[in-house]
Structure 1
Amino acid sequence: MNWGVGHLLALLVGFCLDLLLGDPHWAPHPVRAIGALIAGLEWGLRRVFPKSPGGELAAGVVLVILTLAIPTGLTVLLLWVCGQVSPWLALGVESLLSYQLLATKSLAAESRKVYDALKIGDLNQARHAVSMIVGRDTASLDEAGVTRAAVETVAENASDGVIAPLIFLAIGGAPLGMLYKAVNTMDSMVGYKNDKYLWFGRAAAKLDDILNLVPARIAGVLMCLGAVAAGYDGKNAWRIFLRDRKNHKSPNSAHTEAACAGALQLRLAGPNWYFGQLVEKPYIGDDQRPIEPLDILRSGRILYATAFFALLLFCGLPLLILLFP
């Protein structure tokens, strides 16, 4: 089997498995293993390196090197061993890994829990459900705030939870997909600009910015197309995407959020509380209508449409070209 064809077939099967199964909480997951690795490495490196800006920066660089090398190397080794047994075994294992590195259904399903709680009027349960998928303080959010948080996390994570890993899987199979998720997980754990992680997490945060530079922009464009396919305002999605896609401290975080805000004619982002501190952020989108719980489901539909466009562009078309040159 052609090397490229094998990776793309594994991605196609993995994408379908993700849509069917989502992310069962009881099942072992490579991202959770990467998280445990990062936590263990941080514990050890902080004890080895000096507690100074230079020492913490060096420790963070070592963290990046080890966190990239270990999961990626193990993935390469696993697929090589499986390939020695049977190419079909290698395809099956890579399909499972590809499935676990994508988060389309789980992102939509976790946000759906927020909608279900709001639908029955249980604001406390909705706050709890949204706290599982966002980093902000949720205890004092009203219904609109909870809804906005859920829509924002679907829109923002469409890039680094679905589109970017799909692109890396298409380019380099499960090993490159695993490398991307290692970087993304590091950024989510240590990439904060606070006293604890300002220097230690700097290398991880910068690398995450670099890896997402192109995928985030592709994801924003695809979400504009996804908005049209899902039946929402594609023209406004494109307008807000062009206008507000840089309205975030991170160079990559606002692209899909801007497209989704425009598609749904909503105003997202703005000031929010994080760990007891008010963080001022610019708004994204126009306040054309009040946000409502149904917007959570609408953002999920746009997410699915965007994911299908990405699959067609980065997997379907290349696979057809390789199979029928």
Structure 2
Amino acid sequence: MDLIFGDPYWLFHPIKFIGMLIKRLEKLLRKIFKKREKIGGIVLALSTIGLVYFITYSILSMARALNPLLENVVKTFMVFQILATKSLDVESRKVYYPLKEGNLLRARKFLSYIVGRDTENLSKREIIRATVETIAENISDGIIAPLFYIFLGGAALGMTYKAVNTLDSMVGYKNDKYIDFGWASARIDDIVNYIPARITSIFIVIASAVLGFNYKKSFKILIRDGRNHSSPNAGYPEAAVAGALGIQLGGTNVYFGKPVYKPTIGDEKKSLEVEDIDKTIRIMYLTSFVGICIFALVKFIINF
């Protein structure tokens, strides 16, 4: 369903509900914990995660009480909403196609919807780099990590993972506003993504081999540069992709007007090209296929 429909704009997405919940709780908790923002942030993270799990589990329990078939339908719909493979493709190609046409203004505009950095003054090379980095990181955050938690604890745990991910994307910044209030959300996100990010990078190496990219270099750069990132997790899938394509990622980005230097990842065997976005999307699709096959195999062995 995800590969066919993606995330239709007309369909209310559970992540929108989670986002609304976070906004309301943040507003309330900032009033309660005016001078203790870190504590307020901890309460925000724990209450959001707990509420999302409780609500999702309750919906599934009510569906099961009515009819087991209904429970399966609801589960299927939830898993469809949790995964982001098709939408990552669609949103990335909104940057890819304008770049091919030489329309940097349009490419910057659509890039701003999927990255946290400032995009107004990015060059063509920087737009390509930002897009490749975002796809690579979200192979873990948007596909393999949700699958990992779905296979561990079903739709309820998968939706709870998305709550953690949404918390990090909304309040997990290191700026003046969120350095304390978003501390807990960022740390929890780091913890829950620790294993999935490393699993994802191995799946990327496998996918690169099947696609005919440089899988040996992918593994080499993964081992060498996986830690070259401000995030303890994002560098691993980015390193695997950089090695597979023979490109260099990382460098200086601007966030809220302030330049932030990130260590480089990979060797610059060639200059970044627009087609590197398409290649990364292909890696994303095959990595998701490798992931679901391996998780399903493990599940089958455990249940056998």
Q: Do structure 1's residue 103 and structure 2's residue 84 form an aligned pair?
A: yes
Q: How far apart in 2 are the matches of 1:34 and 1:65?
A: 13
Amino acid at match of 1:303: M
Aligned to 1:42: 26
State how 1:57-136 maps to structure 2 within 5 Å: 57-136=38-117
Q: How far apart in 1 are the matches of 2:95 and 2:238?
A: 18
Q: How far apart in 2 are the matches of 1:65 and 1:241?
A: 33
State how 1:128-207 maps to structure 2 within 5 Å: 128-207=109-188
Amino acid at match of 1:38: I
Amino acid at match of 1:314: F
* 1:319 Cα deviation after fit: 3.6
Selected match of 2:282 from 301, 304, 316: 301
Q: How far apart in 2 are the matches of 1:65 and 1:287?
A: 42
* 1:317 Cα deviation after fit: 4.3
Q: Do structure 1's residue 252 and structure 2's residue 233 form an aligned pair?
A: yes
* 1:315 Cα deviation after fit: 2.2
Q: How far apart in 1 are the matches of 2:301 and 2:289?
A: 16
Structure 1 stretches of 4+ moved >6 Å: none
TM-score, normalised to structure 1's length? 0.91
Q: List runs of 5+ in structure 1 lacking aligned partners.
A: 1-16
- Which structure's relative contact order is higher, taking Cα pairs within 8 Å and 6+ residues apart? 1
SS at match of 1:278: strand
Moved more, 233-242 or 117-126: 117-126
**Percent of counterpart pairs with the same letter?**
47
* 1:231 Cα deviation after fit: 2.0
TM-score, normalised to structure 2's length? 0.97
Aligned to 2:247: 266
Amino acid at match of 1:46: R
Q: How far apart in 2 are the matches of 1:31 and 1:228?
A: 34
Alpha carbons of structure 1 residues 95 and 246: separation in structure 2 relative to 1, 3 Å: same
After superposition, the C-alpha distances for 1:295-322 in whole angstroms (9 at most, x for unaligned) are 1110000001111111011124424763
Selected match of 1:214 from 187, 195, 220: 195
* 1:141 Cα deviation after fit: 1.1
Amino acid at match of 1:41: L
SS at match of 1:287: coil
Q: How far apart in 2 are the matches of 1:321 and 1:58?
A: 40
* 1:60 Cα deviation after fit: 0.9
Q: How far apart in 1 are the matches of 2:271 and 2:262?
A: 20
Selected match of 1:33 from 17, 20, 40: 17
Q: How far apart in 2 are the matches of 1:100 and 1:228?
A: 30
Amino acid at match of 1:207: I
Q: How far apart in 1 are the matches of 2:200 and 2:256?
A: 29
SS at match of 1:138: coil
Q: Do structure 1's residue 315 and structure 2's residue 299 form an aligned pair?
A: no
Q: List runs of 5+ in structure 2 lacking aligned partners.
A: none
After superposition, the C-alpha distances for 1:12-62 in whole angstroms (9 at most, x for unaligned) are xxxxx11111111221111111111101100010011132xxx11111111
* 1:146 Cα deviation after fit: 1.0
Q: How far apart in 2 are the matches of 1:275 and 1:230?
A: 38
After superposition, the C-alpha distances for 1:246-292 in whole angstroms (9 at most, x for unaligned) are 00121111000000000010001111111111101110111100111
SS at match of 1:246: coil
How many residue pairs end up in the alignment? 304
Q: How far apart in 2 are the matches of 1:195 and 1:125?
A: 30
Q: How far apart in 1 are the matches of 2:43 and 2:280?
A: 38
